[in-house]
Structure formats: C-alpha cells, structure tokens
Structure 1
Amino acid sequence: MNTRHRKWSSFALAALSAVVLTACSSGGGSGSSDNYPSKPIVVVAPSGAGGGWDKTARSLTKVLGESKLVEKTMTVENKPGGGGAVFMAEYATQDTKNPYRLFVSSPPILINNLKKEGNTPYGYKDTTPLAQLTKDFGAIVVSVDSKYSDIQSLMADLKADPTKITFAGGSAPGSMDHLISVLPAFKAGIDPKSVKYVSYDGGGEAIAALLGGNADVIGTDISSASEYLKAGKVKVLGITASERLGGDFKDIPTIKESGIDAEFTIWRGVFGPKEMKDNEKAYWAEKLKALNESEAWKKELAANSWEPEFKGSEDFSKFLGEQEVLIKEMLTALGMAK
C-alpha cells in the first residue's frame, strides 16, 4: 500500500468514527433515544410547594411510579417565579431537546405570553403539549348574605354603576382570577376595564376579603370555593362550564344558562420540550393515556376534588390554540395585551 493510499484510508476511518460518535451522542446528553427513558425523569412545578401545579406534579409522579407505568425514578422540582414566567424563560432556551425534564402548567402559560405587563416571550408553542389531565372552571362567588342570588342581577347593577361593586381575586391584574372575574361582564357587553378588581396574594386572602366585607364578589375556581360552599359561607352565582357539574355543584347554574355565553376551562396538563423525538412523544402518549384510565389516578383525582378531562397531544394542542384566542380577546379589551 503506497503512502498516499494509507493517508486516504486513515482519513476515511477517522471520518467514519466521527459520524458514529456523533450519532451515539445525539440528544443533548439525554442518553440514547432508542431506549428512552434510560435515566431518571424530573417533572417541574413552576411554583412553590403546595399550590395546584405542585400538587398536580406530585400526584402525577406518585401514581406513575407506584403503578409501575414508568419504571425510572421520577422526582418533582419546584421553580417558582413570575407565575411560571421565570421557569419558561429557562426551559424554552436551555431544555429544548431534553426529554428528561417535563413540566405541568395551566392557563397562565397562555396568559403570561399574551399580556403586556410581566409577560414572557415564551408560551406553549415553545413546548410539546403532551396531555391535558384535569379540568376546573371559573366561579363567580359572593358571601352567603349578599343581596345577589343570580348572575343577571349582579350584571344589571354592574352595568348601572360599576364603581359600586368590588371584585377580588387571588392573582394580579391581567392574570387568571382577574380574567374569570371580568369574563361575564365582557360577554354581557360591559366594558371590562370598568370592573373594579382588587388583587390579593392568593385565593385564601381573596376569600377572606369576601367574607370580611372588603369585596363584594370574587372570581376564583370552583374547586377552591368548594369547602366554603359546603360550610354555608358563600353562594356561587355561576360557573364557566358548558353544562352543570354533578355532586356538590349540581344546583349551581352555568353562566351560559343565564344567557351570557361565558365559558372558560381551567385545565392542567403536562408538557415536554419543543424538540422531542417521535418515540419520546409516543412513549408519553401511551403512559399518560394509561395513567388516565388507571384506578389509582381516579382515586387521586377524587382525593383532590379534581375533575378528569383527558386530551392527547394533538387535541390538547388544538384546544390551547382556541383558548389562546379567547384570552387575547379579553386582554385586548382590558388594554392589557402586548
């Protein structure tokens, strides 16, 4: 073999080795994609401990692990800040190819991306929506001794003089409680900017303001109002569901029943990184569907007073696009859209 031929053979072998090594190490250090998952998985709750996202993440990992649906270790990581905006900035830029880090979220992933103040340039389109797991609905709540017993009388007074009625919620202006509070007014033809809204640091403080006479009405989610309803401390004038709920809520009318087309689902779901591979998406499609159908998950839902609603990746993505349109419309009417 002459010198020239030996050099060419060495070059070809080196090039082939580089291709093999590159193929073996692809996936951003996430392990081989073919045997996914091959290491522990983290599910992030973009909040502190104890809130809805945290409870969802812990219930999800507990049931997936205990039922052996996922055999790799699953842990929960809390990443609070900006109602999820701080985490999204990190996730959408640093974890785009990391299928070992998932997260749970709800409508704030849309709201934070669309509002003018305190927003984030990152939203659900910077992720892979894997599945919706639960649903809740907005509720318009008054104290038990309030003069209001139906949404229509409240809207009539609000239309006559919005300065006389104070709404409260457990989140900042432009966030979910605010949007729930003004949705009926907006859909009833009342300028949502005229609705007097006071924000409190959490739903508990908003309820306390209502019961203490510092607010006339609160916008919240029906599950948060449940214990106060059972205790006879509040009345729920209407919910943002398309039809009446069962159980403790069977006598509560939907806002739509009252002639105001105000529907809004407070969902919770699971998301992965934007650049997930097909087999990684297929893995979670199978596991999350099996989770939804398991008795252990049904018991977990009941224990947390969560309503089940499962949507796979494609249907979930379509729904998110539809809800994004409504949220943008409302934020625009409030003068809060970016």
Structure 2
Amino acid sequence: MKKTMLVVLVGLLSFMLAACGGDKEKANSSESSSNYPEKPITVVAPSGAGGGWDLTARALAKVLSDTKLVEETLTVENKPGGGGAVYMAEFATQEKNNPYKLMISSPPILINHEKKEGNSPYGYGDTTPLAQLTKDYGAIVVKSDSPFNDLQSALDAIKADPTKVTVAGGSSPGSMDHLVAVLPAFKSDIDPKSVKYVSYDGGGEAIAALLGGNADLIATDASAIGEYVKSGKVKVLAVSSPERLEGDLADVPTFKEAGIDADFTIWRGVFGPKELKEEELAFWDKTLQKLSESEEWNNEVKSNGWESEFKNSTDFKKFLDEQNVVIQDLLTALGMQK
C-alpha cells in the first residue's frame, strides 16, 4: 500500500513539475514576444531625397532615437519610383511580415490604388496603419524670374495654350502633386487633362527641374519650399491651405484668396506591414503617442513648417476609409478613376 502511494506521489510530482515547466516556457515565450523591437528598424521614404516623405522619415527616426523611445538603431532608406507605387508593391509583398520595416506615406497611398492610369494593385489595406503624424499643404511654385506673379496669370497662360506651360511635380500622373497642380485649373473650367504635367521621383527632383528651367511651375509640399523662398530662388503663387500659413509663406495667398474655391490637405503618416502582430502594434501605438507629445517632436514639426495632427492606429484607419471616398470622388471628377 505504501509502495503504491509512493508511486502515485512520484507520478503526481512529476506531472506538477512538467506543468510548471510548461508554464515557464509559456511565460518565457510571452516575455520574448513582448521584447519587440530587438534589432535595427528601417524607416522607408518611398521617394527621392528632399521631399515631404523623406523629411518626415528623417524627423521620425531622429526623434525616436534622441528621446530613447526606441533603443534600437533607426535608419532611413529612400526607395523612389512611381510616386511611391514601386516600393508599395515591395512593402505589401516582400515585407508583409517584417516588423522591422516601416513606411512613410500620404494621400498617394490612396490615389495610386484608385486612379485609372498606372494603377497600383496595393493600397493601405495591404498595410497596418500606425499613426497620422502631421498635415501639410500643397504649393504652386515658380522661379523668382518667372513672368507669373500670381496664380491667375499662370492659369490664364495655361488656358491660352496649355502646350506652352510645363507643370511638374514629385509624383506620377494622377497622384498627389498632379492633383494639387490641376485642381486650380479644374476649378477655373480648364480641362485638367490638357495641363502639360511632367512627373519626377520626389519633391527635390521637381524643384531641381524648376530651377534648371525644365518646368515653368511646380506643385510641391509647402513645407519643402521654405529654404528656396528664403534664398530668393523661387516665388510661391498660392498654397492649398484653408487659411494663410505662418513663417516663410506668411505672405502667400491661399487658393481661395487667389479666386479658387478649393483647398487640399496633405496628411502624412507611418505604416507597418500588414501582418504586424498585436503586441508589435501595441508597442507602436504607445510609442508614437509619446512621440507626438514630446517637445523634441513638436520642435521638428515647427522647424519643418508642418502642423501636428496625431491619430492613433484605430482613428487613422477610420480616417483613411473616409479619405478614400474623397479621393475616389476627386479622381472621378477629373476622369482618372479606375
């Protein structure tokens, strides 16, 4: 009887030890999964250097590092092509389960998916939206020695002979810069399809084209043009904000002040891969919220001429759903809807 009891006790003890070991393994597994991030993170700007995506990516990486909100190394990569569409395809397929690759984007992630020409099969639904960080506006810009001194004179020239006015932007036809460029024409009863638009990979290249005499005017991000205004190299004819901006562009009229009943907001946000795990998303929700509240981030926002506008992952996804409808309506009006 005693022997039988001993066997039972030994068996029970072994079972309990095994169960404890299993629980320990589960705890270790859970602890391991919550240790994200554990290696360097790359923030991709899907454009060339000098434009809004590039500046946002570099500001984000800098502040996350400087504030120690992310202990791991952060690097920025430029992946230009197709107004963001080329890297979008890579991000949605090759990086879909890589939590160490993030991407900066803005309205083109919607536009490229919804437009008819050069349509991208991938959109924000192939990502995990993490947060909206800022908002910016479009600017219609000419060289300092341009004969155009206001938006109406440029529109009059396009209306007289659109083949003689080259308009450029840092995104592909039908994308954000193109929409900003043709919106005043559309609102002035000029066929937007008649506007001679040339695309470049990023705002920096579009500005270079303008300064090099390869474009008569460009549509670009208002925040990216301040240094060129200060140097006297360019004139800004109008901005797409609902009210006048501050700083270097304080004297520039809005579209509405220039007689164009329209405005256009350029939001910017950060996206993770589609298959981001729950604990990884929770990390970015917490970290990016803290980033948006930090003095360092708000100094970066101010120095770049942006406006802070934070939305967490849930609110950002809802906002994108709503914005997608707006983009579809605008493209339809321009005859560019897929």
TM-score bracket for this pair, using the shorter chain length = 0.7 to 0.9
The 1:197/1:101 distance shift into structure 2, 3 A limit, reads closer
Q: Which residue of 2 aligns with 1:255?
A: 255
- After TM superposition, the structure 1 = structure 2 runs for residues 70-219 of structure 1, keeping only pairs within 5 Å, are 70-200=70-200, 202-211=202-211, 214-219=214-219
Give how far 1:280 is off: 3.3
Give how far 1:286 is off: 1.9
The 1:200/1:127 distance shift into structure 2, 3 A limit, reads closer
Give how far 1:126 is off: 1.7
The 1:327/1:315 distance shift into structure 2, 3 A limit, reads same
CA deviation string 1:133-189 (max 9, x = no partner):
122211112233444333234334434543443322344322332222101112333
Report the Cα distance in structure 1 between the residues aligned to 2:334 and 2:288, rounded to whole angstroms: 37
Give how far 1:270 is off: 0.9
Q: Which residue of 1 aligns with 2:328?
A: 328
Q: Which residue of 1 aligns with 2:238?
A: 238
Q: Which residue of 2 aligns with 1:43?
A: 42
The 1:316/1:263 distance shift into structure 2, 3 A limit, reads farther
Secondary structure at the residue paired with 2:257? helix
CA deviation string 1:37-63 (max 9, x = no partner):
252252331436734434433332332
Report the Cα distance in structure 1 between the residues aligned to 2:192 and 2:232, rounded to whole angstroms: 30
CA deviation string 1:243-266 (max 9, x = no partner):
111111111111023342322222
Q: Which residue of 2 aligns with 1:315?
A: 315
**Matched AA of 1:108:** P
Give how far 1:232 is off: 2.7
The 1:251/1:54 distance shift into structure 2, 3 A limit, reads closer
Kept in 1: contact 2:247–2:305 (CA 8 A): no
Give how far 1:242 is off: 1.6
Q: Which residue of 2 aligns with 1:268?
A: 268
The 1:212/1:105 distance shift into structure 2, 3 A limit, reads closer
Give how far 1:285 is off: 1.9
Report the Cα distance in structure 1 between the residues aligned to 2:118 and 2:295, rounded to whole angstroms: 40
The 1:69/1:252 distance shift into structure 2, 3 A limit, reads same
Q: Which residue of 2 aligns with 1:9?
A: none
Kept in 1: contact 2:50–2:204 (CA 8 A): no
The 1:311/1:208 distance shift into structure 2, 3 A limit, reads same
Report the Cα distance in structure 2 between the residues aligned to 1:212 and 1:81, rounded to whole angstroms: 21
Extract unaligned runs of 5+ from structure 1.
1-12
**Matched AA of 1:297:** W
Kept in 2: contact 1:32–1:38 (CA 8 A): no
Kept in 2: contact 1:40–1:74 (CA 8 A): no
Q: Which residue of 1 aligns with 2:5?
A: none
Computing the radius of gyration from Cα coordinates, the structure with the larger value is: 2
Report the Cα distance in structure 2 between the residues aligned to 1:79 and 1:163, rounded to whole angstroms: 32
Kept in 1: contact 2:45–2:57 (CA 8 A): no
Q: Scaled by the length of structure 1, what TM-score is found?
A: 0.78
**Matched AA of 2:221:** D
CA deviation string 1:51-90 (max 9, x = no partner):
4434433332332233122234444455444443333333
CA-based RMSD: 3.4
When structure 1 is superposed on structure 2, of 282-291 and 206-215 the one drifting more is 206-215
Report the Cα distance in structure 1 between the residues aligned to 2:31 and 2:74, rounded to whole angstroms: 16
Give how far 1:291 is off: 0.7
Kept in 2: contact 1:242–1:254 (CA 8 A): yes
**Matched AA of 1:224:** A
Instruction: Find out whether 1:223 has 2:223 as its counterpart.
Output: yes
Give how far 1:98 is off: 4.3
**Matched AA of 1:68:** K
Kindly tell me the number of residue pairs found equivalent between the two proteins. Answer: 317
Kept in 1: contact 2:50–2:224 (CA 8 A): no
Task: Quote the sequence identity (%).
Answer: 64
Give how far 1:224 is off: 2.8
Extract unaligned runs of 5+ from structure 2.
1-14
The 1:314/1:148 distance shift into structure 2, 3 A limit, reads same
